[in-house]
Amino acid sequence: MPTIYRAPVKKAKSNMKPLSYFAVNPDGVRFETQEAREEVVLFLRQHPIVNVTWIVIAVIMFFAPTILFPFVLSFLPVAGSLPAGYMIVGTVFWYVATFGFILGNFLYWFFNIYIVTNERVVDIDFLYLLYKRFSQAELSKIQDISYASGGILAAVFDYGNVIIETAGEAPNLEFGKVPHPEKVVETIRSLTGLGTK
């Protein structure tokens, strides 16, 4: 008997969480220049392990007023003559600076995103709190895609840099320290029709 009706096959969607750093066919991801027929295939951020350095520094900064400052002040001749108000104001300023350091680094990680759609690749970089750089390359203009992964942490946690070379005036793009770089390269190659190397 001939098939009269066949239900459309839906692609498997991944549930996006606010801190997701690798999502295939994510639900609800949109960006400002996305066209109506354009679908997001990959959503990427840097691997979370790259945040360890600034998190360790933030922990040291957090405990510095209670452990490090009294130790350093004990060796200074003016330590006993400092009014308590100066110590309190200095400590408050220190914690405000620590909070600013944490917030700045988190926002840099959170808002630097890489998106692969069925029509192009997009690199959105927030370099400062108020400065954004938007780079894109159409899939038809991509000439070569490669990845580089080096070091113990990159090997253990499977992250690396994806380099996308484009033709003409389109800028070359680099997705820095993204998780599963080999899968990212394979996905972009399958979308562009470049095949596997």
Tens of pLDDT, residue by residue over 150-171, are: 999 999 999 999 999 998 777 7
Mean pLDDT of 186-191: 94
- Give the percent of the chain with pLDDT over 70: 90
Residue bearing tokens 């108000």: 85
Mean pLDDT of 79-103: 88
The domain limits of the chain are 22-26+39-46+112-192, 51-107
Question: Which pTM was predicted?
Answer: 0.82
Nearest to 162 by CA among 174, 179, 172, 180: 174
In one letter, which amino acid is 25? Answer: N
Across 13-39, average pLDDT = 87
Mean pLDDT of 26-48: 92
Specify the CATH number of the domain 22-26+39-46+112-192: 2.30.29.30
List, for residues 110-148, the tens digit of each pLDDT value. 999 999 999 999 999 988 778 889 999 999 999 999 999
Strands 159-166 and 113-117 turn out to be unpaired
Q: What strand order describes the sheet that includes 142-148?
A: 142-148, 159-166, 173-179
Q: Give the integer Cα–Cα distance in Å for 50 and 31.
A: 24
Q: What is the pLDDT of residue 11?
A: 60
Bigger pLDDT: 32 vs 42: 42
Distance between CA atoms of residues 196 and 91, nearest Å:
57
